[in-house]
Chains A and B, each alone.
Chain A
Amino acid sequence: MARKNTYILPTRHGLMFLLVLAAMLAGSINYNNNLGFLLVFLLGSMAVVSMVHTHRNLKGLKILSVSARPVFAQETAVFVFLISPEGRRRNALEFFFENPGSAIENLSPDAEARISVRVAAPKRGLLVPGPLTVSTCFPLGLFYAWTRVRLNCFCTVYPNPIAAAFEFSEIAEGGTNQDSAPLLSGTDDFLGLKVYQPGDPVRRISWKALSRGQGLFTKEFAGHGRSNMVFDYEQMTGPDTETRLSQLCDLVRRAADANMEYGLNLPGSFIAPGSGRDHRHRCLKALALFGINQEPRDK
């Protein structure tokens, strides 16, 4: 990534150091003390050299990639940067977004480093952090060099899961009774066999087919049943949208944990039942972005 603008300014301690040096210089002039002069000039030159060091400590650093795993609202999002030190040892680099929470790292010259910067994620939706600041005061703490990087990165924040007013096991069991299962829809008619895919529930493997030597097949069902549910927004008991989304979120999470097949019915969108990590993410993301006109800015 491009970084043209590295800024550098003396720190507060740098200014204090300057004052100490001025006092020392006055003393040396007063006593006409050459050794005093020598020390003042040594320290002054060191300060100047340290400015170069501080600047170089930051300059040329490369951010190779950024990623953030989705989190639930009110958790902390962790943005992971892959940083290349570009052949130089880097010390005491600080990485932070505008929110509090930072990471201080030393990078060794020839290994890429994985750096995690934490950001609070209070609300569902897409969390787009402000520009990333990378800064350093190394080595003498007299100068502060920093650079700001605008990143095209975001973190999906799922709604904060809130347990629905019923036990999940109830739904699971109630699923067999078609009329008393208001939350669920669909049928459990046997549709046929499909080739086994890793991740398919073990109990739906067609053992008959296997015993006949036909290979591994999975039985496919359509519609309702304890292992095939669609969670419906309209059926949620929560008083407002956010609570309902949170309840749905909890249901999805638990269904995924129980390795069930589930779908999602939201006003304006429908996600057919399915399972697996990607499906879970699709459902939760739909919940996260529900009603939010925010698309990741892809350039």
Chain B
Amino acid sequence: MNTEKKYLPALIAALAAAILPHTLQMAPWITAWCAAMWAYLLLCMRTGWPQPGRRVRILLSVAGIAGLVATYGIGFGSDAFVGLLAVMAALKPFEISTHRDRMITVFIAYFIIISSLLRSETFAITLYMFFSVLLTTAALVRINDPLGAYKTSARRAGLVMAQALPLMILLFLLFPRLEGSLVGFSQTNLGQTGFSDQLSPGSVANLVQNNDPAFRAQFDGPVILPEQRYWRGVVFSRFDGRAWHSADRVPKLNQSIQGGDSVEYTISLEPHNQQWVFALDLPAKAPSRRTTLKRDFTVVSRRSITRKRRYQMRSYTRYNTATVDYGVKDALNLPQETNPRARDLAADLAENSTGFGEIVENALSFLRDNNFAYTLQPPLLGHNPVDDFLFESRKGYCEHYASAFAFLMRAAGVPARIVGGYLGGQVNPWAQYLIIRQSDAHVWVEVWYPENGWTRVDPTLEVAPERLDQGAAGSLQPGELGGNFARKYLRPITSFIDQVRLGWDAMGLQWEAWFSAYSKQQQQDLLKALGIDTRSWKGPFLMLLAAAAGAAGLFWLHARLQNRAARKKTAPEARYYEKFCSKMARVAIVRPQHMGPLEFAEYIAEKRPDLEKPVHEITRLYIALRYRPAAGQNTRKQFIAKIRAFDPAKDKPPV
């Protein structure tokens, strides 16, 4: 019981802090399980209740693992791994009777901390990591200092951490980075939201309810105008009668496109577990070697994006893609025998218009003039969804408009496809960048003109023009998104909270810009600035040398500072006595090494009887300070004052 009292609270606090960031993604029963075990243990400590024996502990472990299998199945993903760590962490404090067990408990806590970092790299998590490490290290100090108190353990842990920081930064900057993965596995699905590779009724409407950021865009110049904020992600070019699909294999674009008004910006993309990389319409180049610019002008990453990524991008806001006729033929394909009324309408449009441009114009007027309405809760559509939408319900969301419009175009002989992405973005007033949220998800249509190539047409704007600058929420009827009432009356408070959140967001992005983005490239740039070329054989060697020299320098500095601090701390009286001795030395009375203070005083008195009184006084105070532990601050002050005032050179000895 004794060891528990001493160590248990510290160990449980460390484990709990380590688990906390996981609780959002973990199955709720695991959190409850941990809380229950720890609460029971802490209660045991207070009340002296019986602790479970070995058999009960084994039973509990089996139950925990059975629970994990029931939750996550046999396949061992990262969620299951974290679950296993948590279940272990919940049971481990039952057995901390040996030092070894306690050490292992602390190591488990460190391991849980790193597993939470692999999921998220935000600024907040970084701060939390330091807090959590401090707590865990305090527990580690605690178990290695059986006589100490919590406060001193925490202080020592803080000291060790603080002293480790310079070396940590050095290692972080200089440790060689690789591109890509070491082992060929990557993280499993974390259930992020975003676009999928097919567009079916309701798929975008679902996104609009979600206020999570999809990505952020920082511009090298001023933030672009609202009507330019079309973020291209997926192209849906195949229609099966109900849903639109993205093409499987689109070749790489190996020619440059003509464009104007190029915009340079950096995107910091949240993980969405797909390969799309969003870019302002129309991307001019692929941002990195890990990504490809395809012939449908989408940018695709080689791997699914499971972690935050930052990309330097360049896009044209004015462009002509007539040279790239990829997919034009397929952009006329429609499944047979569906939506007959829409086909009739399309035939009408084609007959009464000359040229593609007029067909598009007429189709848009049809949407404008027939009482279409914009809503997130459209009625269900039947077997011929385009017909039902165009002629019956006339209520829908961007995917309905885009889908119907593209169908009409194809039926009328105009090559058309749907582009999925985001429209808009919130300007962060603190740092002038755009936050694009899932709720900005949008789809629009591209039609092919032989002279201009693929050209954007947004049929939704015909029905809800305010979608362009007010976002999806602004285009809806009152009451369609929950909480409108509250939103209206709590305006001052919510706007203040918004400001704080945007400030925090800006800080996080700044952090990301120089921390999360630090990679091989940045490292090379940094080293090059220091005059080290990593591409030659000397690079790594010099890097190691620099690291070693840096570490040695830090140690040296550390030792010096510590020594000085120790000297200051030990005995101020000794230093002042030395000062006194050097004052005596100035008048040619040097204290021989073997002489104690009393003897020295006599020696002085012999040579300089005029100094007898002050020297005697100083010596008396010194001895009191040095050898009587009870001597107080007052004595010390007196002593120091006396030495300061002491000046043997002032009064010349009587000759």
Contacts and interface: CB of A to CB of B under 8 A. Distances in A.
Contacts of B519: 32, 34
A196 B12 CA distance: 69
Contacts of B165: 42, 45
Give chain A's interface secondary structure class: helix
Contact of A139 (B126, B156, B182): B156
Given A33-B118, A35-B129, A42-B168, A20 B143 contact: no
B121 A104 contact: no
Interface in A72-110: 86-88, 91-92, 104-106, 109-110
Interface residues of B, number: 65
Contacts of B125: 35
Nearest to A112: B629
B577 interface: no
B570 A86 contact: yes
Most buried by B among A20, A26, A109: A20
A106 B100 contact: no
Contact of B141 (A20, A24, A29, A140): A140
A18 to B, nearest CB: 11
Nearest to A14: B103
A173 to B, nearest CB: 53
A22 interface: no
A44 B133 CA distance: 12
A26 B111 CA distance: 13
Contact of B113 (A39, A92, A111, A137): A39
Interface in B107-126: 107, 110-111, 113-114, 117-118, 121, 125-126
A199 to B, nearest CB: 32
B168 A31 contact: no
Given A16-B107, A35-B117, A104 B146 contact: yes
B494 interface: no
A54 B551 CA distance: 18
Nearest to A37: B172
B280 to A, nearest CB: 26
Given A13-B100, A32-B181, A141-B103, A49 B160 contact: yes
A141 B143 contact: yes
B160 A46 contact: yes
B504 interface: no
Q: Give the bracket for the number of chain A residues in contact with chain B.
A: 35 or more
B141 A39 contact: no
B167 A49 contact: yes
Contacts of A31: 118, 181, 186-187, 307
Q: Report which residue of B99, B145, B152 has the largest number of chain A beta carbons within 10 angstroms of its beta carbon.
A: B145
Contacts of A270: none
B570 A45 contact: no
Contacts of B148: 91-92, 106
B178 interface: yes
A168 interface: no
Contacts of B182: 26, 29-30
A64 to B, nearest CB: 13
A139 B160 contact: yes
A36 interface: yes
B644 to A, nearest CB: 23
A36 B118 contact: yes
A29 B178 contact: yes
B549 interface: no
A104 to B, nearest CB: 6
A35 B516 contact: yes
Nearest to B568: A87
A21 B190 CA distance: 25
Contacts of A29: 178, 182
Given A45-B164, A46-B160, A104-B147, A32 B180 contact: yes
A91 B167 contact: no
A33 B144 CA distance: 31
Contacts of B178: 29, 32
Contacts of B156: 53, 91, 139
B177 interface: yes
Contacts of A46: 137, 160-161, 164
B570 A139 contact: no
Interface in A140-189: 140-141
A49 B179 CA distance: 30
B181 A44 contact: no
Nearest to A43: B110
Given A39-B133, A49-B163, A86-B570, A92 B145 contact: yes
Interface of B: 99-100, 103-104, 107, 110-111, 113-114, 117-118, 121, 125-126, 129-130, 133, 137, 140-141, 143-148, 152, 156-157, 160-161, 163-168, 171-172, 175, 177-183, 185-187, 307, 515-516, 518-519, 551, 555, 558-559, 562, 566, 569-571, 629
Given A34-B519, A41-B175, 13 more contacts: A27-B118, A28-B114, A29-B178, A31-B307, A33-B117, A34-B516, A38-B129, A39-B129, A43-B110, A48-B164, A52-B558, A53-B160, A92-B147
6 contacts: A30-B183, A39-B117, A52-B555, A53-B160, A92-B145, A139-B140
